Chains A and B, each alone.
Chain A
């Protein structure tokens, strides 16, 4: 292995490739982001244990909450399952997006991001690629939550189209919300800090909402927060789309929050990422 290396150069020279001039094509950002998306997907496929937070966790939460609190909260475990499932979906999405922040923060401390930075690649491509690569996780979490719910007795009472719209809305929300942990990841020093900070943000959002209980049971002073909480709107929207409950403006508020996350945190995350190079 070591002896042959010196002899080889005479045959082919790495400095003189078959194709020396890189081809310029349009849509570089998209193409480069997709190449980096593929990288994330390969990594996800290699480490299925990294999917525990979007598979085992929703299953555990459904089982624990439905069978322990169902009777007390809703009088029947089946009624509570119907009520809770969209909430658990939203909560798992919110906690599931913490992983991208942890992963990116870890990546930043390895050499691979410096390699990306030394290539003629749009600076945002590694971050956009990572976010897009997480689509697969959010599709999995949606599928797993619904499948387990079905086994436990959950039934969609609307039509397939509405149900599909609910699933798509959940995945879209997840992608947009991801920019928050990405932003956090660019600004703290350790993966543990990303995890800790994100949990501190996600926990109040999950509980001070309509995820686990009807909001009318919550104290008045909390209602103001609950009413603007993005998870409340996502759950309101998916509940309406899955079960036909009154949907109000929940879809619009959810979309507005999606836009808000992207408009605010994507540029901030990219700016922080660029600044890492100075």
Chain B
């Protein structure tokens, strides 16, 4: 263990009645990095975040944030964390500004300090125009930004983001990703939970995969991708009569497998990496095949789990 781990958890156990939400989870996050905690609904991600952010006490194991124990020294932990997620939200009957000023006051910034900090964050998250409207009138994307702003009022060194982009459309998701990158560039450490391998891949330095309350893999995004197999290239030729030619070209850039028609008119092949995309584009253009859709996909969460556990992911009750 290096000295500079800002989040450390060993053997976290949590039971809710007979539900074993966590069965011995270890997490380690070096300062200034992003850890992606990947797992399906009910895997225990949220329970782990709730323990690390002092909202729950573990039944077993221990965790430290910036060296402070989350149970014995909870007050100190709360001074260095920011929490955003479905369960740590804002007051919908207050305006965006009133929410941020309230949290500033509760963080002892003083009246003027709270006001200044609120204005700063509203500006940064592009909420100045909506600042004096009740939070319940905000759109989904604005609400996420306000939730995130609320968790940053105290300039926390450690930020927990629990499924920050679930339910956001792709453009808003990219925005949220940019925010996370900026936070990390500013020196913060981020632990984010997600159900999307794409999201973990885009943001995380390391990924911990959790299932049934246990860590089933921990690796860098590249390492994980190597284990679970590469990406899938999907192509929809403009003309259905080109399907055969397209399949032939795709088979040439694939890792060896033949192209599959996964949906009506859409062909897919496994590919080794990003280079296959340019390769395919060049070859398709060379052959004069027009395409209407062309995309590169990481394996879905289901496929990740299938590879890691050898069994399809089971439906579970959310913890």
A is bound by B: yes
Q: Which of B89, B102, B123, B188 contacts A110 (CB 8 A)?
A: B89
* In contact, A22 and B109 (Cβ under 8 angstroms): yes
A118 to B179 Cα, complex, angstroms: 21
A47 neighbours in B (Cβ, 8 Å) = 93
* In contact, A119 and B78 (Cβ under 8 angstroms): yes
* In contact, A17 and B105 (Cβ under 8 angstroms): no
A277 neighbours in B (Cβ, 8 Å) = 54-57
* In contact, B179 and A5 (Cβ under 8 angstroms): yes
Q: Answer whether A6 and B108 are a contact pair too, CB < 8 Å, given A17-B120, A42-B94, A120-B75.
A: no
Q: Answer whether A15 and B155 are a contact pair too, CB < 8 Å, given A115-B89, A117-B55.
A: yes
* In contact, A24 and B94 (Cβ under 8 angstroms): no
A112 to B182 Cα, complex, angstroms: 26
The reply to whether the CB of B166 lies closer than 8 angstroms to some CB of chain A is no
Q: Which residue of A lies closest to B154 (CB)?
A: A22
The reply to whether the CB of B121 lies closer than 8 angstroms to some CB of chain A is yes
B154 neighbours in A (Cβ, 8 Å) = 22, 119
B178 neighbours in A (Cβ, 8 Å) = 5-6, 9
Q: Which of A18, A31, A120, A278 has most chain B Cβ within 10 Å?
A: A120
Q: Answer whether A22 and B120 are a contact pair too, CB < 8 Å, given A112-B90, A277-B57.
A: no
A38-63 interface bits toward B, Cβ cutoff 8 Å, 1 = contact, 0 = none: 11001100110000000000000000
Q: Answer whether A15 and B152 are a contact pair too, CB < 8 Å, given A35-B106, A118-B81.
A: yes
The reply to whether the CB of B103 lies closer than 8 angstroms to some CB of chain A is yes
B79 neighbours in A (Cβ, 8 Å) = 22, 120
A31 to B102 Cα, complex, angstroms: 11
If A14-B182, A23-B108, A114-B55 are given as contacts, then 17 extra A-B residue pairs at C-beta distance below 8 Å, sorted by A number, are A6-B174, A14-B120, A14-B121, A15-B183, A17-B117, A17-B120, A18-B113, A22-B79, A23-B110, A36-B102, A36-B106, A111-B85, A111-B90, A112-B91, A119-B154, A120-B108, A277-B56
In the complex, 7 of the A-B residue pairs with CB atoms within 8 angstroms, ordered by the A residue number, are A12-B123, A13-B182, A39-B94, A39-B98, A47-B93, A120-B108, A125-B106
